[in-house]
Chains A and B, each alone.
Chain A
Amino acid sequence: MSALLRFDKVALRRGGRLLFEDLDLAVGPGEALQVSGPNGSGKSSLLRLAAGLLGAEHGQVERADAALADDHVALDRELPLERALRFWARDPGAAMNALGIAGLAKVPVRLLSSGQLKRATLARVAASPAPLWLLDEPLNALDAEGAERLSKAIAAHCQAGGAVVAASHQRLPGDWRQLELDA
């Protein structure tokens, strides 16, 4: 099967600084790739590039439909959590269960803690039909139980033929192919 995300000799420049160049990358169905590297090495930028939110300086980026979870929650704060998620996904119920926030369905988003917001952000991705998940520092603010639920959700997604690219400076639980970016 063809790759869900493919970089072909990609170079990315941010603020006049060349973050990386000649980067080749292919992530196929069922694969999980962790992008690691020190602060400022371009992990988040790589994800935004993969999401199509940034343009490459050189090279080609091809991707399937993607869903992105970064530190922006993108849920309407005045709405109850379930209604806020429903704006992005028709049926967020299963994803809310998977991330352990089904009990918060009626709680307004603005009252959630940062860990709960992180789970909600991940549930927004898990509820989307996109085959490619892009996760930026997915473990930030998550407790041990949340991290375990996340790795189960990722495993299930890969099992179902999806792919995950996660950027993190710490080691993610589970089986990940590694890509190291230099500073």
Chain B
Amino acid sequence: MIGALVAREVRRGSTGITWLPAAFFVLVVALMPFAVGPDAKLLGRIGSGVLWVAALTAALLPVERLIEPDRADGVLDQLALHGVADESIAFAKILAHWLTFGPLLLVAAAFGAALLSMDGRTLLATEIALLIGTPGLAALAVTIAAVTSGLPRAGSLAALLLLPLAVPLLIFGAANAWLLEGAVALFLTAGAPFVAGAAIRASRT
């Protein structure tokens, strides 16, 4: 059932909407030269930080479609009746969300780097940092989606909850402190299924 669930999530995540976070990411990055001026040296210096802020904001976009539609439509109830633990549901959703979100973001980051005239070495370092950090971001997105599902205006609330929690990833990721960033990402990814699973259980009325 878990495999079928991951396949379903990937299928549902890889329609037209998959491109939305990546396109949003590029758009946010493209705003930066307009905001700080076309100074290539300055842009290159702040480039990796800009990519990270863009990645965090792009991670917010899919939050509302991750859990809430399945809660409202009874899919989460039916999965429970089929004996799937809520933690397993959360794990499957995190894995599938990363698959449809992470790799595309890495591609978008290469476009973004060109817009910011970042050099190859900085881009490579940022890509590695994003590769380490995006599973943590995906885990965080699913967790916040589970915590806010069923609430009115969940989208705005999700932004307020997710962004502060992503700060450690941002700090270590933008500083290329890969081991510390990996530790944070591991902590988030390992803990998220339990938090999200508990939230799914609590949302059942």
Contact = CB atoms under 8 A, between A and B. Distances in A.
Contact of A72 (B4, B15, B77, B83): B77
Name the residue among B73, B75, B78 with the largest chain A CB count within 10 angstroms. B78
A134 to B, nearest CB: 9
B8 A52 contact: no
Given A72-B73, A74-B75, A76-B12, A53 B204 contact: yes
B81 A66 contact: yes
Nearest to B8: A87
Nearest to A68: B81
Interface size class on chain A is: 10 to 19
Given A53-B204, A54-B204, A74 B77 contact: yes
B8 A74 contact: no
A14 B12 CA distance: 34
A72 B81 CA distance: 14
A78 B75 CA distance: 14
Nearest to B70: A74
Name the residue among B4, B74, B81 with the largest chain A CB count within 10 angstroms. B81
B73 A73 contact: yes
Contact of A67 (B8, B75, B81): B81
B72 to A, nearest CB: 8
B77 A53 contact: yes
30 contacts: A14-B205, A51-B77, A51-B81, A52-B80, A53-B77, A53-B80, A53-B81, A53-B204, A54-B205, A65-B83, A66-B81, A68-B77, A68-B78, A68-B81, A70-B74, A70-B77, A72-B72, A72-B74, A72-B77, A72-B78, A73-B73, A73-B74, A74-B74, A74-B75, A74-B77, A76-B8, A78-B15, A87-B8, A88-B78, A130-B81
Interface of B: 4, 8, 12, 15, 72-75, 77-78, 80-83, 204-205
Given A68-B78, A72-B74, 17 more contacts: A52-B80, A53-B81, A53-B204, A54-B205, A70-B77, A72-B72, A72-B78, A73-B74, A74-B73, A74-B77, A76-B8, A76-B12, A78-B12, A88-B78, A88-B82, A124-B78, A130-B81
